[in-house]
A and B are shown apart, each in its own frame.
Chain A
Amino acid sequence: MVLRNKKIIYAAAIGLALIVVFVPFPSLTLKGKGAVRGVMAPAERGASSLWQRLSEATAAVRGIGGAVEKSRELSHELVRMQSELNRLRDVENDNIRLQRVLDFKEASSHDMIPCDVVSRNISGWWNTVRIGKGLKAGIQENRAVISPDGLVGRTTEVAAQTSEVLLLSDPACRVSAKLGRINVFGLVRGTGSTLKGHPKARMEFINKDAEVKVGDEVVTSGLSSAGGEFPKGVHIGYVEKVYRDKSGLFQYAEIIPRATVGLLDYVFVVSEAGKEAK
């Protein structure tokens, strides 16, 4: 009898595990993950903060302690300035277009939510980092995440207190982009990282007739990416190599994204208010 009960319990456990694995319950999965991440969040923040203090203390011992805080403030300011500059570029372009067409959409500035990176991906199968803010701070899925160097990735699996950021170097991250110099559109997709740990990405579906040059700047196009809203003109990287697609219909370019994100970094999530006013 006991043996039979055991078999039933094993069968039920295996059946449950198989259902969980093979039948997707997106909302249930997110709730379950949110609960575990919520429990782990204080420990992650604590460990991250401890690590940060240790790093800053080490820097202070080296005699550049005051520069750490100053550098942080300046980096915050730099991101704001870059965002403002991007916005002004868009306004300028809009003005030029307005001279031709009278239908005009006003561009609005992007609200940004500053967040600390609290941990990395646990398995290494995904190129992600976790940030210490979530739904409660107004973060939503598929929002652009930027750093002083440019686009970092996009938000995904947003829980109440934390959010996952899918980095630009991950093959699952796709962003609508354009070449700044010639205004040609394409799709940027992550291709992993180099042996030195630098992120790699590729811009695909570039018009075959476009004159793409090594060193061209790649920026976000502002078109909807994966259902999210991305701001226009955010720097992604520079073209390193250009190839023609085997079919001959398109070109693609290997690009070097400038933004890398570490465990102690802070990033900005572009909020809902970043949408263009219509």
Chain B
Amino acid sequence: MKRRILMLLTIAAGALLQQFLPTWPIFGGMKPPILAAMALHYALRRNNKDMWLAVFVAAIMQDSLDLGAYGPALLAFPIMGLLANRIRNEVFSDGLVSQLCFGAIIGLFTAFITLLLYTVTGQRPFHFGLSVIRLFSAFWLGMTTLPLVSYAISRMEAALPKRRGYGWQ
């Protein structure tokens, strides 16, 4: 129970950090996908229940704190979590190369789903050049964000007192 509360608090802190980070025009205004990286981190390391909890809380937070209708994160994160949870025994989650690859994929995937939904529902006007910049930016930002987020969470959990019942060892 305690580790779940810690997980939820970490996700909330991640949402706060993602909001406070500035946007860079060179990346098409995209932000580092911290919440997506957190959802993937937990999906690769926790059991099924924790994965669903992390994925839905992260998705609801992202969509609630963003403008427009619910959807982009609520659609992308569960698919991402489900796939990651399926292959977690076949990949080395702590390897840097795996994390770089996963990071790039989640960045690109969430950006693509968001772009698709916004375009289909008419919430955002479609602009080809800007869309390409955003997809590339999401790719790079995801690639750099996941290893950092994963490392930070692992260090934080390692620094906590090792007592029975916490279960984050």
Residues in A lying within 8 Å of B, measured CB to CB? 13-14, 17-18, 20-22, 24, 29, 32-33, 35-37, 40, 43-44, 47, 51, 119-128, 130, 156-157, 164, 166, 171-172, 192-197, 263
Collect the chain A residues with CB atoms within 8 Å of residue B167's CB: none
Query: Which of A35, A43, A156 is within 8 Å of B67, CB to CB?
Result: A156
Instruction: Give the shortest distance, in Å, between B131 (CB) and chain A (any CB).
Output: 11
Could you tell me the distance between the alpha carbons of A258 and B72 in the complex, rounded to whole angstroms? 32
Could you tell me the distance between the alpha carbons of A34 and B7 in the complex, rounded to whole angstroms? 23
Chain B, interface size: which category?
35 or more
Instruction: Give the shortest distance, in Å, between B112 (CB) and chain A (any CB).
Output: 12
Collect the chain A residues with CB atoms within 8 Å of residue B16's CB: 40, 43-44, 47, 119
In contact, A193 and B71 (Cβ under 8 angstroms): no
* Total A-B Cβ pairs within 8 A: 117
Dominant secondary structure at the A interface: mixed
In contact, A20 and B74 (Cβ under 8 angstroms): yes
Collect the chain B residues with CB atoms within 8 Å of residue A44's CB: 16, 19
In contact, B15 and A122 (Cβ under 8 angstroms): yes
Dominant secondary structure at the B interface: helix
Residue of A32, A36, A37, A128 contacting most chain B CB atoms (<10 Å): A36
Collect the chain B residues with CB atoms within 8 Å of residue A43's CB: 12, 16
Query: Which of B29, B64, B69 is within 8 Å of A124, CB to CB?
Result: B29
Q: List 29 A–B pairs whose Cβ atoms lie within 8 Å, in order of A's numbering.
A: A13-B78, A17-B74, A17-B75, A20-B70, A21-B75, A21-B117, A22-B71, A24-B69, A29-B70, A32-B70, A33-B65, A36-B60, A36-B65, A37-B65, A119-B65, A120-B19, A121-B66, A122-B19, A122-B35, A124-B29, A125-B30, A125-B66, A125-B72, A126-B68, A126-B124, A127-B29, A157-B67, A194-B25, A197-B25
Collect the chain B residues with CB atoms within 8 Å of residue A37's CB: 64-65
**Assuming A171-B124, A192-B130, A195-B26, is B67 touching A119 (CB within 8 A)?**
no
